[in-house]
Each structure stands twice: as structure tokens, then as C-alpha cells.
Structure 1
Amino acid sequence: MTSLRETYDSLIAAGTLHADPAQESVLPEFDRIRAVLLTPAKKGLFRKAPEPPKGLYLWGGVGRGKSMLMDMFVEHLDDIPARRVHFHAFMQEIHAAMHEARKTGVDDAIAPVAADVAASVRLLAFDEMQITDITDAMIVGRLFQALFAAGVVVVTTSNRLPDDLYKNGLNRDLFVPFIELIKDKMVVHELASPKDYRQDRLAGTQVYFTPVNADARAAMDAVWNDLAGDAGAPLVLRVKGRDVEIPRYHNGMGRARFHDLCGTPLGPADYLALADAVRVLLLDGIPSLGRSNFNEAKRFVTLIDALYEARVRLICSAAAQPEMLYLEGEGTFEFERTASRLREMQAEGWGV
């Protein structure tokens, strides 16, 4: 059985990866989990099923390789039933399954949903665990208690240490037991690499394309393909009972059209959740702004504020340079700050 360390070393030798002591330090944790899961169960009438291994909560800054390492781990699980999914997408499925369970008249919709998940996998691998919605916060503790009790092993990445999950959230005291459950059932490991590999990929890359034409579209496609290849699927965020969709998402990178995010009635909470879910956002087709699309312009200002405060890397195509996007109508003065932020966000190293 090839260890994760051997696979990692072979990728370094091939020039695909660069040696990183912080990444190397977590490989034994992945190998520990894999070894237990691959150990054949002893047969016999009175043989007790082996205790599942502790999972792994891998946290650290963006671009450090957390998702890459988890993908490598999942790819080397052989025939172990496992699923790799973004945490937000998983919770969306749980809400839908609970809705269906309630139709059957059950008193506790979480129990059958958790049982169905546990029956299908031995390991769940979550990308970017984060809690932004109170409904998720109220469900997740009992759900994971049931999954752990059923022997499901959980591996997750996050940009936050466990104690910062759902920070300042409504009724957070009810969520705190889930944090303690994580610490009990999972090894918490910080990936403290000083290097942001995603920023390295973007170094020297143009991030603002104007005007919006075939050349700009091709350039945006080229950036996405370099960062994500052919990958990318819709990601739905649940925010205060509403669904906010990022049409394409992969490993912390999202892509959407201006109309997707600003042409629909989204508000500050939606944009904050979006900024929390992505570290790089490709935004296509920002139009000229003014009286004719005043509401869209207001939403765009709110979106940029959220991205700016969260230090999300923005790559976009626009009808004009930032200072020329909003030239007439109410709000031109206020847009000067947005234009300034758009300029600042173009600087190399933004988001570090």
C-alpha cells in the first residue's frame, strides 16, 4: 500500500509539487486514518467492530494546499465508500432530505437522514467547513453526533480554527457543543505554511479586463482554466432561508456573471456569505452603471464592500475602467470609494 507520503514525494520528484514542511506535517494524519479504514474487519460471531479512527480538521490560511492534500487522500482510499463534497452543498442536501423526511410524519427528521448518510459512506470529506446560517448551526450538532455514533469518519478543511466557527452568530451558545464534539472526534491540525500557492499562480496575471468583448471573455476563461481546469459546479449557499447560487465553484474559487449576483434581489447578508465562501471570485460582464440600473449598481457597491473587507481576490471583466463605470445619476459620488477599492484590488498580492 503506497502511503500518502510516498505519493507526495513522487509528485515533488516529478516537479508537480514543491516540498512544503507544513504540508508534509499533516501527511501522517491522513495515513493514520487511511490505515485504519483499510484494515479488514476480523470475522467471527463475537468479534466487535473496530473503533473508527479520529477524523481530521485541517485549518489554515487560503492557498496553502488544504484542498489539494484532501483530494490526494480521497483518491487513495481504494474501495472505501467515501464522498468528497463542499460543506455548503452537503448542508443543502441535508435540508432537502429533512424536508422529505418530514412528509412521512417522523418526529425527528435528522435521525433518518443521518442514517441514510451513514449507510452510504464510511468517510465524509468536506471542503471548507463554515457555518453562516442559523438553521445550519441548529442542525449540524445533532447531525454529526449521529454520524459519529454510526462510525462515519469526517475529514474537513476550513479557513478557521474550530473555536471561530459561527463566530458572533445568533444564539451561538447553542452551537458551542458542536465545537467540543469536533475536538473530541477529530484531530485539529493547523496547516501553517507561510506560502500562498494560489497567489503565486496569480502573480503577474491581469485581473481586470475591459471592455466586455470576445477578448475579455477568452481572457477570463483562460484564468479560470488555469486555476480550476474543467472543474466547477454550482454552489448554493443557504442564507437566512434563501438560496444564493454561485454558478461555478471549485476549491474556494467561484465564477458568476454580474447579473447572477447583482441583477437579483440580494442583500448584505448574502454578499457576506458569498465572501466567506470564496477566496477568488471571477465576475463576468460588469456593465456601465447609472440611472437605468441603479438598483444593480447599489448591489454591486455592497458586493465589492463585502469582497474588499474579506480580502477576496477579484478577477473581472467590465465595460470600462473603475473610474469610468458610473458617470451619471444618483450615487456617482458614493461610487468613488468603490472605484478606489476596485483599483486597490487589482494590485498584485491583494488578498494575502
Structure 2
Amino acid sequence: MIKKMMIKAMIAQRHVARRCFSKGPVAAAYELKVDAGEARRDEAQVALAAKFDALHESLASLPPVPVCTYDPTKSSCSLLLLLARSLASAQSFLRKKFHLWLFGPPPRGMYIHGPVGVGKSFLMDLFYASVTVPDDDSCCNNDSHKHAKITKRRVHFHEFMLDVHHRIFVYKQKHPRGDAIPVVAQQLAQEAQLLCFDEFQVTEIADAMILKRLFSLLISDWNVVMVATSNRAPDALYERGINRSLFLPFIDLLRQTSDVISMEDSQNDYRLENRADGQSYFWSNKGVHGDNNINHNLQAKLEKIFGGAVSGIASGTEGESIPVLFGRTVQVARLNDRCAWFDFSDLCYQPLGAADYISLCRRFPVIIMECVPQLDANHLNEARRFVTLIDACYESRTRLVLTAQVPLDELFVDFEAQVESSDGDEELIVNDKGGNSSSFATTMIRTKEGKYYEWSATGLIGVSLAQLSAANDLAFSFRRAASRLVEMGGKEWGRQ
């Protein structure tokens, strides 16, 4: 009997091994997750894993990033600069022809869209882990890209665009009349030939206007492969955004260079299967904004999570200024070495954006926020900032501890937005729909006087179309934010 059981166990082990090795690396990793009970088999995920394996195999034929033969920032002679640009253009043409002749068509990227929690990011992360980074001397090894060894970067799309705008900002400070996009594209390509984006969405006109040119250079000239997950189909990107006609060529480029994969038929939100343990989201109807009479048990729990010696206002010090991109700072009044403690008004009633929240997440592994109100049509800008904070915490695996007025399933109230005109002035009208329904970065506009304003919060006539797009994208994003808060409440969530 024991001998038969041993034989069955050996056969099962061989079956698992054969199944893993007969598939590509992504499908094999997925099967291991299923066998370990860390994932539940889903046919849509199995099909997506197979597509990732096909892309993984095609990366073996991807040539290295070309070596740039000129630096436009270092040429002081306009004639030499013109000649250099002409030479670079000719080289770009020859690179494309040589690439097609020697390697065949370049690998197509992937754009995966569908509802929240269906496994898009999960599978992309398995693919990303399967791509190995070359050794230091691999650039001299002719066989270096036979095993998908390329430089890579996995980043939330909003964080990537903040990085792009900061690079443009730095370049323009030194070269006010220079063209920053080719230089930025070159920098990005030389840092990563595989770009994996989570939560690809376009809500800002500043992003929309540069995407077509930037990615055309990255993909066509610099052999960069893009993989992206999104809650939106390509045709719904930047929907009803201002000057959207100028953005449409990017959608054409996306379809020409990437396989568009829909998971819209998948309705399972797997994040909700792992319910929160109740140690990150607390609610009390006594915790209304401005009311400090939160029950003592709740306050004791927050103090325990906070832990450590306190700095800032509570200790009589001035707190800490956290540096942010573009030379700005965000002030933290109550903190210790690992945790920052805020009121909802500190972070969401102030003109802050993704760059501020990302900087906070990099500095603190734990963030506590008190007095979160129910978020409806009366809190558009506050809700937008809040879901941006959730995205930043999620991507950095920062533990976000919240106290709110209502249970989590009542935190976000769905709404619809429309534009109405009267006497030649357009006004954004938002109506509550009720019920539970998840974010996007904030574009900060700097005036000549040095003050910062939010693009969608200026209230200026002529930006209402941008406001309409932003409001509708916010309503669209509520479900993802709620789903992420559930996942982030798990016992294993956080950096430490």
C-alpha cells in the first residue's frame, strides 16, 4: 500500500515537472502558483499566459538599443547640429531596414484591458519576472539576447509620465529652445528596452499631447517593447478629453505596434477573495471630519500601528519637509522613522498630486489617515486626490491605514457628469447616482508668480471639457480603488 502511494506521488511530481517544462516560463510560473494554492485556475488567465510566453520567445530576436552617435545638447554650432540630426535620421532609417532584414519584424507589444481584479497585473508581473537582465559583459556577447536578456522597467503609468515630465523640465532649464522629446526617448530606451506599465490611462492633456511622438521614437527608433494593463480599451483612452483629435494618432500607433487583448468577459475580482483582516480600515460614525471624539479603542489601535517615538507637532518640533519632483516639498507634521500620520484634509484638501504621494510612499512604509468622509459628487477633487494616493500606496506596497465615517463598501458613491451651457459659459454638472462603485495623476500648473494650481481644479472657462473627462474617469476608477483597499488590508500587505 505504501509502495503504491509512493509510486503515485512520484508520478504526480513528474506530471507537475513535465507540465512546467513543456510550457513557456510564464505558463509554468502560473501553474506553480495554481498548484501552490496561490491562484485559482482561470481560462482567461491561462490564455493570457500563453500570449506572454509567445512575446517572451520573440524577445530573443530583439536587437540591442542602438548606440547614439551624437548628443544634441553638446553641440554649439547650428550647422554641425543640423548635420548631426541629418545623420541620425539616416541612421534611424538604416537601422529599421537592417533590423527587418536581419531579425524580421520587431516584437509586438501587448495592451491588456479589462475589469479590476481579473489578473492582468498578476500575469504581467509573472512575465516581467521571467525576463532576465543581461550581465555587465553581455553587451559584448553575441548570444546575449537569445534568452530574452534585456534591460527592463516595470512602473505605474502615472509615475512613468511624472518621470517623463520631470526629464523634460530638467532639459528645458538648460536648453529652453531645444527639443526635449528625442533626448528623453533616448534616455528611457537606454535604461530599459522592455517597459511594463500598470494602470495605463490618459486623463491629462499634457500627457496626451506627447504620447504619440514619444512612443513612436521609443518603439520605432529605439527598439523598445511596451506591455501595458488598463481598465480601458484603446478607443476609450482620453475619452472626451480636450483636443482629443490630437491624441487619436497615438491610438493608431498602439494598435499598429501592440496586440490588444480584452479580458472584458472576466467578471471575477480575485482581490475580493482575500478579505481584509480589519487592521487597515476602521470606521466610526463618530469620526466625522473635524470631530476629535473618536472612540478610545480606535485611537489606541492607531497608536499601536504608529508605534515608535513621535516627531513633529506632537513633540513640539516642526515636522519634516519631503522633497518632491520639480523642486516642491510636502510637509509632514506628525511622523516617526517609519510612519506618517495625517488627517484627510492634510493630503486631500490641499493641491497635491501623484508626485507628492509617491514621495511620501518612498519615505514612509506606513501612512495613517484619519477622518475620511464618504466620497461623492460633492468631493470631486478630494476623491481624485484620495484615489491617486491609493494608487501610489498600492504600487509601492505602502501600508495605508484609514479611519472613515462609513464602511468600506459605502465609501465611494458613484456619479455621472455632464456639461451644461448658459449665456456662453460652460458649467460642469455632477449628479449622484448612489451605490458603490476605482485613479489618476494630478497635473500641476505653475504660474509666472510661482504658484501651483491643479489643471482640473482651476474652474477656468474653457477647461470644462478636461474637467468632464476627469470627472468621468474618476467615477470609472472608483471600483479599482475600493478593490485595492480590500487587497491592501490583508495581513501580508506592506514593505515591513
Partner in structure 2 of residue 91 of structure 1: 161
Gap change, CA 1:274 and 1:143, over 3 Å in 2:
farther
Give the TM-score, by structure 1 length.
Answer: 0.66
Structure 1 position 85, deviation (Å) = 0.3
* Deviation at residue 51 of structure 1 after TM alignment: 3.4
The CA deviation at 1:61 is 0.5
Q: Note closer, same or farther for the CA distance 1:169–1:77 as it changes in structure 2 (3 Å cut).
A: same
Question: Share of identical aligned residues, percent?
Answer: 32
Between stretches 64-73 and 97-106, larger displacement belongs to: 97-106
Residues 1:197 and 2:270 aligned together: yes
In the alignment, which residue of structure 1 is the partner of 2:233? 161
- Secondary structure of the 1:23 match is helix
Instruction: Provide closer, same or farther for how the CA distance between residues 109 and 12 of structure 1 changes in structure 2, counting only shifts above 3 A.
Output: same
Give the match for residue 185 of structure 1.
257
Q: Does 1:60 align with 2:133?
A: no
**SS at structure 2 position matched to 1:284:** strand
Shift of 1:86: 0.4
Matching residue within 189, 192, 196 for 1:125: 196
Number of the residue aligned with 2:357: 246
Matched, 1:10 2:21: no
Counterpart contact for 1:276–1:310, Cα < 8 Å: no
Deviation at 1:243, TM superposition (A): 2.9
Secondary structure of the equivalent of 1:257? strand
Instruction: Look up the match of 1:271.
Output: 383
Q: CA–CA distance in 1 between the matches of 2:45 and 2:266?
A: 7
Please say which structure displays the higher CA radius of gyration.
2
Q: Distance in 2 between matches of 1:95 and 1:260?
A: 31
Going from structure 1 to structure 2, the CA distance change for 1:120 and 1:173 (only over 3 Å counts) comes to same
Question: How far apart in 1 are the matches of 2:400 and 2:412?
Answer: 12
1:57, 1:157 within 8 Å by CA — same for their partners in 2? Answer: yes
> Does structure 1 retain, via aligned residues, the 8 Å contact 2:372–2:402?
no
**Structure 1: which amino acid aligns with 2:300?**
A
CA distance in 1, matches of 2:373, 2:167: 27
Distance in 2, matches of 1:84 and 1:283, equals 26
Partner of 2:41: 19
Per the alignment, in what secondary structure is the counterpart of residue 227 of structure 2? strand
Structure 1 residues 255-275: Cα deviation after superposition (integer angstroms, max 9, x where no partner): 66248999xxxx734633654
Deviation string for 1:17-51 (max 9, x for gaps)? Answer: 11001111111221111112134869xxx773553
Match of 2:348 in 1: none
Q: Which runs of 5+ in 2 are unaligned?
A: 1-20, 65-97, 134-149, 285-294, 308-337, 339-350, 406-410, 416-433, 440-478, 487-496
User: In the alignment, which of 180, 205, 210 is matched to residue 134 of structure 1?
Assistant: 205
SS state at 1:103 partner: helix
Letter aligned with residue 61 of structure 1: P
Aligned partners of 2:206 and 2:436: how far apart in 1? 23
Query: Helix, strand or coil: the match of 1:61?
Result: coil
Secondary structure at 2:228 match in 1: strand
**C-alpha separation between the residues in 2 aligned to 1:141 and 1:256?**
39
User: 1 CA distance for matches of 2:160 and 2:484?
Assistant: 30
CA distance in 2, matches of 1:261, 1:97: 36
Go from structure 1 to structure 2 and tell me whether the alpha carbon gap of 1:283 and 1:217 turns closer, same or farther (over 3 Å shift): same
Q: Distance in 1 between matches of 2:232 and 2:270?
A: 18
Q: Is the 8 A contact 2:63 2:223 kept in 1?
A: no
Report how many residues are paired: 276
What's the TM-score once normalised by structure 2's chain length? 0.48
Q: CA deviation at 1:96?
A: 0.5
Gaps of 5+ in 1: 222-229, 231-240, 288-302, 314-344
Cα root mean square deviation, aligned: 4.1
Deviation at 1:63, TM superposition (A): 0.8
CA shift at 1:193, angstroms? 2.0
Structure 2 match to 1:214: 300
By how many angstroms is 1:209 displaced?
3.5
Query: How far did residue 119 of structure 1 move?
Result: 1.4
Structure 2: distance between partners of 1:62 and 1:87:
16
Match of 1:311 among 422, 437, 446: 437
